[in-house]
Chains A and B, each alone.
Chain A
Amino acid sequence: MPVVTKKKAAAKKNVIKLKFDTNWSYAPAPESKSAASINSQYDLFINGGWQKPSSKKYFNTINPATEETLSEVADASETDVNKAVTAARNAYEKYWKKIPAKERGKYIFRIARMIQEKARELAIIETLDGGKPIRESRDFDVPTAANHFFYYAGWADKLEYAFPNRRTEPLGVAGQIIPWNFPLLMAAWKIAPALATGNTVVLKPAETTPLTALKLAEIIQESDLPPGVVNIITGAGATGAAMVNHPDINKIVFTGSTEVGKIIQRAIAGTNKKVTLELGGKAANIIFEDAPIDQAVEGVINGIYFNQGHVCCAGSRLYVQESIVKEVIRKLKDRIETLIVGDPLDKNTDIGAINSQQQLETIHKYLKLGKQEGAEMYESSCRLPSKGFWCRPTMFTNVAQSSRIAQEEIFGPVLSILTFRTDDEVIEKANNSPYGLSAGVWTDKGSKIFNMTKRMRAGVIWANTFNKFDPTSPFGGYKESGFGREGGLHGLSAYVNLIG
């Protein structure tokens, strides 16, 4: 959409406003579905091959933008989990433990390259199955997933440099359960470091977004990775529970809600299983009056509306210094009007479909709650498609610190705006949360940035930027946002015992 500026001569200072009453609009630019092939049915990827589920049950996975069925995938039962774990254990004992580290690395490099080769197809399937804009799956999810494999591949034969004065040994079989917000990327975050450190894997993608993980299974098959080193099984909560409770799994890695994370920690109590949990968040994003406001507004928009707000580290609590609150809210309102909501396959789309009916209901519950609690709701005036699951970019003003929309994770395109006067006040408010995954701060003053980034209790802090990720950069939370780190040098320690 073209941006037209005009000057208000009457106003004391120039107010630059985006103008929307124009007839110009973007022509549709849809990505072609033909570059992707999706089977009508997927079995379980166990021991290097495709196996029918013992229950013979399959469930549908749909396109949340159209509600059309894309494929049906196997529902793994306890028996299937057991098969997958046995395959992973055998592969660990027979091949993976013995193979030279540099060869292990070369397999992972090979997988990284194949993801790059099939990047377009993976991006299309990611968007079809999950509802995220093709621009995000094409430019972020898929390349970052490939890069993650590429990064950890190189670690495989260098582990003796990673931990001063210690040697490492793999843990054995890792059971990995991943969420639906970044399906392929989360699979990469889990599988790559596990393989690099010499573990074998049983991975379960989320039930609403299994397709890219199954495509990854095809890639792994094609890469000639020894059978059983990576097993990918589909299913819902019961399948995950069977993995968590399986006695022959040495490590549980889970990304998802804090609620389920706590259930997992209880379930493995008394066992020798190790665990990494990457859970919910309610990130504070703080704008000081000396911040570059336009950049900050852009960062706030990216912070909360990226991937429809289905981001555990989303900047969902905005703290604005009182002196600039009117200006910031006006600019945010202007900006969300320009966000294009609609067909995720369209390259112009900014905000795609909500991942599932269930998640849409959760978001609506919080919208209702916010209004009941006395906050003022503002949403974009955009039109929504008639089919599929959609939510307009929304923000709440006049939100109280104690309000549930300021305390609980909504996991949707909903921003809560609060205000503050002093540094100490905003630190106290920002840290007043059971979560501690991420945070942001916007100011032009360097010393203030480091004061804030030091005092905020969160694992990832963005200063004058937001929602940036990189394979070399450790990610993970404080407090109830979970423990352990993924990415970078620090991501290795989740998968090794230190000896010597």
Chain B
Amino acid sequence: MSKTFIKKSNLNISQNGLEKPASSKRLEVLKTYKIYIGGQFPRTESGRYYTPVNAAGKKLANVCLSSRKDFRNAVVAARSAFSGWSGRAAFNRSQILYRMAEMLEGRKAQFIEELILHDSTKLKAEKEVNLAIDRLIYYAGWCDKFQQLYSSVNPVASSHFNFSVPEPMGVVSIIAPQNDSLLGLVSVIAPVIAGGNTCVVLASESKPLCSVTFAEVLNSSDLPGGVVNILTGSVKELISWFADHMDVNATIYCENDSDTRRMIQEKSALNLKRICLYDKINWYSDEGQSPYFIMDTQEIKTTWHPVENIAGAGAGY
């Protein structure tokens, strides 16, 4: 009997039971990278694909080249998930974001591997995954706190109880950062959903692997289907639909391409979408996280309620 030789991976991932089998003995099961819409993992309705490569020119996978129709389906899913998600108790949203962090922690090795496939080093990949986990924890904590910081009870001069509170804008379309394919993705999704919005995200075009795996994390985190929808594909092809869809309330764009920014701003005028431009943010630093990111996709609602002001109704002290 010949001796089975199992080549150890360079990565310390054996604790997950994910040791790489020797290719000569066992054929590796390749992953099909699909998109994530309404809690399901369909292929793009268009049947198209593209093949991202790494710096060395190695083909990484056949990834869905999503279409306009996929985007529209995703918006429908996001809209139908909105009232349920925004209606959840803030505490419950907080628990779900924390659960997402737990799931991500549990699958660290896979993300590190994918980031390395996308030309990261082991050290940098580990740092990026750790920061992504911590960022989810950070926003998990904000879910039931930012409202208190940015609300007000307004001392109006008339006999009314008057207060202003933040409320989620609705459906947010997001073009995720192109470079930090995991940390950037998490940093733009987390504040949007922490505030009760739902979203459709276009993943990094050149580095899409983590985004699909992150969708799997979301799918096992009690996050209701449709709250986050993730598409892969061409930014150039899809971006105008992200900016001009009439049932999208806000758009987030993270690159500094001035023509694209201008196009997004022009198209957003169709239904007065709110535009957030995050091109100057360093997602690795502390400026990459703050409750002000949550407030970027919040509206302020002011409610007036009369206070009875008849004889005997006033304070009696």
Question: Does A pair with B?
Answer: yes
A489 to B155, CA, bound (A): 11
| A483 CA / B169 CA spacing, docked (Å) | 11
Q: How far is the CB of B186 from chain A (nearest CB, A)?
A: 22
State A263–B164 Cα separation when bound (angstroms). 29
Instruction: Tell whether A79 is near chain B: CB-to-CB under 8 Å.
Output: no
Residues of A within 8 A of B164 (CB): 473-474, 488, 490
Against A, the Cβ 8 Å flags (1 = close, 0 = not) of B4-37 are 0000000000000000000000000000000000
Contact partner, B292, options A166, A279, A463, Cβ 8 Å: A166
B152-171 interface with A by 8 A CB criterion: 152, 154-158, 160, 162, 164, 169-170
With known contacts A262-B269, A269-B269, A270-B262, A470–B162 Cβ distance under 8 A: yes
CB atoms of B271 and A463 under 8 A apart: no
Asked whether any CB of chain A lies closer than 8 Å to the CB of B313, the reply is no
Contact (Cβ within 8 A) B302 A461: yes
CB-CB under 8 A for A464 and B305, given A470-B154, A473-B156: yes
Of B291, B304, B306, the residue contacting A461 (CB under 8 A) is B304
Residues of chain A contacted by B261 (CB below 8 angstroms): 270
Chain B min CB distance to A292 (Å)? 11
Q: For B268, list chain A residues within 8 Å (CB).
A: 265
> Given the complex, which residues of B lie within 8 Å of A268, measured CB to CB?
265
B272, CB-defined interface residue at 8 Å: yes
Known: A262-B270, A270-B265, A489-B152. A459 touches B157 (CB 8 A): no
CB of A156 within 8 A of chain B?
A: no
Task: Digitize A242-278: 1 where CB-to-B-CB distance is under 8 Å, 0 elsewhere.
Answer: 0000000000000000100111011011100000010
Expressed in whole angstroms, the Cα–Cα distance for A465 and B161 within the complex equals 11
A468 touches B154 (CB 8 A): no
- Please indicate the chain A residues that have their CB under 8 angstroms from the CB of B301 in the complex: 453, 458-461, 478
Q: Are A277 and B157 within 8 A (Cβ)? A: no
Instruction: Decide yes or no whether B266 CB sits under 8 A from chain A.
Output: yes
A464-500: CB near B (< 8 Å → 1, else 0) gives: 1100101011111011101101001110000000100
Q: Are B300 and A472 in contact (CB under 8 A)?
A: no
Whether A270 touches B271, Cβ cut-off 8 Å, given contacts A147-B157, A166-B292, A475-B302, is: no
B162 pairs with A480, CB closer than 8 A: no
- Please report the C-alpha to C-alpha distance between residue A75 and residue B268 in the assembled complex, in whole angstroms: 32
**Residue B303 lies at the interface, judged by CB distance under 8 Å to chain A:** yes
B40 to A: closest C-beta gap in Å: 26
- Asked whether any CB of chain B lies closer than 8 Å to the CB of A291, the reply is no
Of the candidates B162, B249, B265, B306, which one forms a contact with A265 in the assembled complex, judged by CB atoms under 8 Å apart? B265
Those of B265-279 within 8 Å (CB) of chain A: 265-266, 268-272, 274
A interface residue count range (under 10 / 10 to 19 / 20 to 34 / 35 or more)? 35 or more
Known contacts: A270-B261, A480-B272. The answer to whether A488 contacts B160 by CB under 8 A is no
A460 contacts B302, CB within 8 Å?
A: yes
A270 to B268, CA, bound (A): 12
Known A-B contacts A164-B149, A489-B152; A476 and B300 likewise in contact (beta carbons under 8 Å): yes
Q: Is the CB of A461 within 8 A of B303?
A: yes
Question: Which residue in chain A gives the minimum CB-CB distance to B290?
Answer: A165
B303–A453 touching, CB < 8 Å: yes
CA distance A11 to B178 in the complex (A): 75
Interface centre among B158, B262, B305 (most CB of A within 10 A): B305
Tell me if B258 counts as interface (CB < 8 A to partner A).
Answer: yes
A237 contacts B by Cβ under 8 Å: no
List residues of chain A with CB within 8 A of the CB of B299: 459, 478
CA–CA, A292 to B49, complex, Å? 62
A489 and B265 CA atoms in complex are apart in Å by 27
A453 to B263, CA, bound (A): 36
Interface of chain A residues 414 through 458 with chain B (CB within 8 A): 434, 449, 453, 457-458
A464 & B306 in contact (Cβ 8 Å cutoff): yes
Complex contact B265–A472 (CB within 8 A) = no
Task: Identify the interface centre among B164, B169, B262: most chain A CB within 10 Å of its CB.
Answer: B164
**Does residue A95 face the partner (Cβ distance < 8 Å to B)?**
no
Q: Are A269 and B274 in contact (CB under 8 A)?
A: no
Compute how far the CA of A401 lies from the CA of B239 in the bound complex, rounded to whole angstroms. 33
Contacts of A261 in B (CB 8 A): 272
Nearest neighbor of A143 in chain B, beta-carbon distance: B157
Q: Contact at A265–B269, with CB atoms within 8 Å?
A: yes
* Residues of B close to A476: CB separation below 8 A: 300
- A485 engages B300 (CB within 8 Å): yes
B interface residue numbers (CB < 8 A to A): 149, 152, 154-158, 160, 162, 164, 169-170, 249, 258, 261-263, 265-266, 268-272, 274, 290-292, 299-306
Q: What are 29 A-B pairs at a CB distance below 8 A?
A: A164-B149, A165-B290, A265-B272, A270-B258, A270-B265, A453-B303, A458-B301, A459-B299, A459-B302, A460-B302, A461-B303, A462-B304, A463-B303, A464-B306, A465-B160, A465-B306, A468-B160, A468-B304, A470-B156, A472-B154, A473-B154, A473-B156, A473-B164, A478-B299, A479-B271, A485-B300, A488-B302, A489-B152, A498-B292
Taking beta carbons and an 8 Å cutoff, which residues of A are in contact with B?
147, 164-166, 258, 261-263, 265-266, 268-270, 277, 279, 434, 449, 453, 457-465, 468, 470, 472-476, 478-480, 482-483, 485, 488-490, 498
A-B contact sample (12 more), CB < 8 A, given A449-B305, A462-B303, A470-B156: A164-B291, A258-B272, A270-B262, A460-B304, A465-B304, A470-B157, A472-B155, A473-B154, A473-B162, A474-B302, A479-B272, A483-B274
Closest 8 CB pairs of A and B: A270-B262, A269-B265, A470-B156, A265-B269, A269-B266, A472-B154, A262-B269, A266-B269
